[in-house]
Amino acid sequence: MELKTKHNIGIKDAMTYNVITATSSSSISDIATIMTKHDISSVVIEDQVVEGIVTSNGIISKVVSKNISPQDITADMVMEKYVSVGLDTSLIEASSAMIKNNCKVLLVIEGDVLKGILTLTDIVRVSPELIELFIEEKNLNGLYSDDVYSNDYDEHLSEGVCEKCGVYDRLRDIDGGYLCPDCIDNESEEEMD
């Protein structure tokens, strides 16, 4: 599969530099508060060096679903191993690392120093065409049957991040810009006024 993208786009163009961290002794309750406050779904656990990552999915599956009090559990008890890449990694290489490791978050580390974090959402925001890489990989691995998912799609209607409101939704190309149905409706209403 040949993607129509600039191969020189690096993760520096997409990653978040100010990473929200906590220590391994932080309670899951505190980490959940941090996630809510910053509207994020993962917190990097860092003592002297990066130890791991706590995700909202991990909290749900390891704490909430087992009816354990989040005040009684610390980050080191539920943190997951992390996948890291270097600062010079391209978006395509980062996407491939996510697919290979079945993860949605990569830590950007140089030496032992945490430089940033890169999520699947960051990649799609900067280079929406890379979503095709994820879709094809899932299809190659037989995760989707032709009955459930098809690569045949209307070129005028695709999924991605709306250029006006930033919401991930089905998009239409309107005068060279990709907009979600709500923004298209809003523009139509504004034109009528």
Q: Give binding residues for Fe cation as ranges.
A: 162, 165, 180, 183
For 55-116, the three-class secondary structure string (H helix, E strand, C coil) is: EHHHHHHHCHHHCCCHHHCEHHHHCECCCEECCCCEHHHHHHHHHHHCCCEEEEEECCEEEE
- C-alpha distances (whole Å) from 152 to each of 138, 160, 162, 163, 172 are 15, 16, 21, 24, 16
**How close are the terminal C-alpha atoms of the chain, in Å?**
46
**Contact of 56 with 35, CB cutoff 8 Å:** yes
Residue 12: other Cβ atoms inside 10 A: 15
Q: Could you tell me which residues are annotated as the binding site?
A: 162, 165, 180, 183
Question: φ, ψ for residue 52 (rounded to 5)?
Answer: 175, -160
Could you tell me which residues are annotated as the binding site for Zn(2+)?
Answer: 162, 165, 180, 183
